[in-house]
Structure 1
Amino acid sequence: MSTAQRADPSRAAQPLLTTVAIVASCVAFVVIGALQALYGPAIPALRKDFGISPAVAGLSLSGHFGAAVVGVLGYHLLRERLGHRILLGASYLLMALGAVVFATAPDWPLALVGTFVIGLGFGGVDYGLNQLFAVAFGRRSTAMLNLLNGHFGVGAIAGPALVGWLGAGHYPGIFLGVAVVCVLILFTLGGVASREPEPVAEATSGTGARVAPIIAAFIGVYVLHVAIETGVGGWEPTHLETVGFAAATAATATSAYWAAMTIGRFVVVPLCLRFSAPAILTVCCAGMAGFLLLATLPSAAPYAYFGVGLAIAPIFPTCLPWLNRAVPSVAAAGAYVMAASMIGGVAFPPLLGVVIDALDVKALPVVLFALAGVCLLLSFWLRSNAPDPDGLTATNPGSAGTTRTSEVQT
């Protein structure tokens, strides 16, 4: 027997998020999704404005992601001391400040500082809201996290579309608009509880010895699925052109893949109320593997990659509440997996490039299929070894109607 930490019911009656705060959180995820996707379309204008090479311009994205990891870990370390309301407010202000600096910078070094400041706020908002949604809705948390992260995809699609509509040269105005939205969101923070309910000790069925392997398995799932996500997103156009598709068709198929990442999260929301997180993860990992195997057939590849996007989409938001339930005594578990996934998203694309150089771009789906196979094995292991005491059970869909006192009250 081991002692786990569970929410104190005497303090759980206070809602963590009001309706206004929930809506504002979804808007915030549209904003961070757009921010992440804006750098690439802005590169031509950045090169023109600052006289830099494509590789140097790409440092904007590297600086953003590097700072985001710091933001995630910093938020976690300060969460108990300062609480969600103050840290989210600081994160929104950092994003606003960084966007203003980036938009008005007279030289490239100062613009890079702006991307770093944006990244700090980005990491804080990403971690803070995901953490709140993971615990605020009881058994509906998985569904609500998919809904929240679906709005990230909306922003990731809308940001580049806005650049395409206005023109890359108008990127300063777009970043200034982002800063204004971040400031407006500050006025909704009164609907965010400063602190989560204090945990109380509760005896559980002996998971203490398995905590480290469970966290490691979740980190593996997060890193590998993000590696597959970025691998497909970065190399799909090249692979499709290599097997005979026109450049325009390859670009359209890649856009459809990213759209599938958004669609999948919205589609899975009602399914999360009927099926358990372990069941959803297993199906998603099997789907990734199956569609990547299908992508080895040239004629089916564009459609297979769309299927890969649908399968990947629910993994990130579905696993986070399950992780919190599986290792409730490790408050840093969520920060570990989110930081690891961000690092993997930055580190894996160059590694994949080395592998493809050594083999051939036609081997892309086979290489990613191998990663998906490892994900599938990890999902089976987690399903057997990581308890999900408060999650739904696939054999009892009706339990979705049961709520807990820690759920949001609207």
Structure 2
Amino acid sequence: MVASCLGFVLIGALQALYGPAIPALREEFGLAPSTAGLALSAHFVGGVAGVLLFDRRYGRSGNRRILGTSYLLMATGAAGFALAPNWPLALAAALLAGLGFGGIDYGLNQLFAVGFGHRSTAMLNILNAHFGIGAILGPALIGAVGADHYPALFLAFALVDLPLLLCLRGVRDQAPQPPADTEGPRPAALALRSVLAVFVTLYVLHVGIEAGVGGWEPTHLQSVGYGAGLAATATSVYWLMMTVGRFLVAPLALRLSAQAIITVSCAGMTACLLLAAVPDLAPYAYAGVGLFIAPIFPTGLPWLHRSAPRARRAGALVIAASMAGGVAAGPALGKVIEWSGVRAVPLLLSAVSAACLAATLWLTRATRTKDGP
């Protein structure tokens, strides 16, 4: 468990290292800003491919082999990115690191979702909170050593990754099946497809909000009169609150249903985004968004597994969809902002958040068992 949490710190840090390294990458390889940003895109493409690829091996190759291969791929890719002599090889290395990233993200989320019984929701929130710790730690390290020294950080990352291979003996090779009393009624094929489609929609939309706030909060705050320094600090607080929120929800998840937690999260997120349209409240409202959005990703996975226990690939589908949502959020939101203006960012995101709330309420009704939610 400790090694798994450390693994999530590492994948959070890896994802967050690319952005702060862009100035040094541009100088070293002579890149335009959009070209330098392709490193993170390659990482996400590799992540989606890793989720889908390792899902095909799930239950065949054994969980230890899947996770071990993922850690090796991520370490190799990170080292390759640090030592790449040219930009095409650096992109290939980022893709390779992303492949391992996707396997770890999928593999550990899948195992925690089914391996802890009624405690799975709490444990998933704790696991994913460590991703946030890494996402905060990565930029802090770049800031401490300087962007020019990014190769040393990626190499150090690869070396820290390798000892986790020694901890895989504590991973059961085959995940336990969900207990019969948690499965609920068997939905018909058509109803099952509808439930999966709405879960995918929920994940794509809420990750789009997560990435949208992280990407556009500084610009929006500056457009309503805040300084660049305060805007950057407020964005850091947003990510910090997302991490704190997952730790706070862990004990609540032992007493409250996933449906109740996600419903409150979506309602609170929508309210905070509406409040963010008020300039005086905006920095505090964005912090509230981070707090409320925090539990949705980890809390939804056990709910999905209980609702569709026979749909083996459901977890991979929603995790891959969440990554795709993060990739698509930037360009899609950017296009809408072109005609609506930056000041409309919180209102646009609140509309997406309201759609998340509607999806949650629909899923609550669709997956309700005879004995209640």
Note the 1:2-401 alignment, pairs <5 A. Answer: 22-197=1-176, 205-208=185-188, 209-387=190-368
SS, match of residue 61 in structure 2: helix
Does the Cα contact within 8 Å between 1:325 and 1:389 map onto a contact in 2? no
SS, match of residue 41 in structure 1: coil
Provide the rounded CA distance (Å) in 2 between the counterparts of 1:362 and 1:162. Answer: 32
SS, match of residue 82 in structure 2: helix
Query: Deviation per CA, 1:9-65, whole angstroms, max 9, x where unpaired?
Result: xxxxxxxxxxxxx10000000000000000011111111211111111100000000
Give, in angstroms, the shift of residue 113 of structure 1.
0.9
Does the Cα contact within 8 Å between 2:245 and 2:292 map onto a contact in 1? yes
Does the Cα contact within 8 Å between 1:234 and 1:349 map onto a contact in 2? yes
Give the TM-score taking structure 2 as reference length: 0.96
Provide the rounded CA distance (Å) in 2 between the counterparts of 1:116 and 1:368. Answer: 30
Question: 1:86 corresponds to which letter in structure 2?
Answer: R
Question: 1:319 corresponds to which letter in structure 2?
Answer: G
Structure with greater Cα Rg: 1
Provide the rounded CA distance (Å) in 2 between the counterparts of 1:389 and 1:79. Answer: 32
SS, match of residue 20 in structure 2: helix
Give, in angstroms, the shift of residue 302 of structure 1.
0.5
Query: Cα gap change, 1:220/1:184 in structure 2, threshold over 3 Å: closer, same or farther?
Result: same
Give, in angstroms, the shift of residue 205 of structure 1.
2.8
Give, in angstroms, the shift of residue 263 of structure 1.
0.8
Query: Cα gap change, 1:223/1:23 in structure 2, threshold over 3 Å: closer, same or farther?
Result: same
Provide the rounded CA distance (Å) in 2 between the counterparts of 1:162 and 1:247. Answer: 21
Provide the rounded CA distance (Å) in 2 between the counterparts of 1:68 and 1:56. Answer: 19
Give, in angstroms, the shift of residue 204 of structure 1.
5.1
Give, in angstroms, the shift of residue 80 of structure 1.
2.0
Provide the rounded CA distance (Å) in 1 between the counterparts of 2:341 and 2:250. Answer: 38
Give, in angstroms, the shift of residue 245 of structure 1.
0.9
Does the Cα contact within 8 Å between 2:204 and 2:326 map onto a contact in 1? yes
Does the Cα contact within 8 Å between 1:325 and 1:387 map onto a contact in 2? no
Does the Cα contact within 8 Å between 1:256 and 1:306 map onto a contact in 2? yes
Does the Cα contact within 8 Å between 1:92 and 1:182 map onto a contact in 2? yes
Give, in angstroms, the shift of residue 198 of structure 1.
5.1
Deviating beyond 2 angstroms after TM superposition, the runs of 4 or more aligned structure 1 residues are 197-206, 387-390
Provide the rounded CA distance (Å) in 1 between the counterparts of 2:310 and 2:132. Answer: 31
Give, in angstroms, the shift of residue 333 of structure 1.
0.3
Structure-2 residue corresponding to 1:19: none
Query: Cα gap change, 1:199/1:381 in structure 2, threshold over 3 Å: closer, same or farther?
Result: closer
Give the TM-score taking structure 1 as reference length: 0.88
Query: Deviation per CA, 1:282-320, whole angstroms, max 9, x where unpaired?
Result: 000001110011111110011000000101110000000
Query: Cα gap change, 1:293/1:186 in structure 2, threshold over 3 Å: closer, same or farther?
Result: same
Provide the rounded CA distance (Å) in 2 between the counterparts of 1:95 and 1:50. Answer: 23
Give, in angstroms, the shift of residue 381 of structure 1.
0.9
RMSD (Å), alpha carbons? 1.6
Give, in angstroms, the shift of residue 388 of structure 1.
6.5
Give, in angstroms, the shift of residue 206 of structure 1.
4.1
Give, in angstroms, the shift of residue 175 of structure 1.
0.8
Report % sequence identity: 58
Question: 2:227 corresponds to which letter in structure 1?
Answer: A
Does the Cα contact within 8 Å between 1:231 and 1:349 map onto a contact in 2? yes
Provide the rounded CA distance (Å) in 2 between the counterparts of 1:265 and 1:389. Answer: 30
Deviates more, 1:191-200 or 1:25-34: 191-200
Give, in angstroms, the shift of residue 194 of structure 1.
1.0
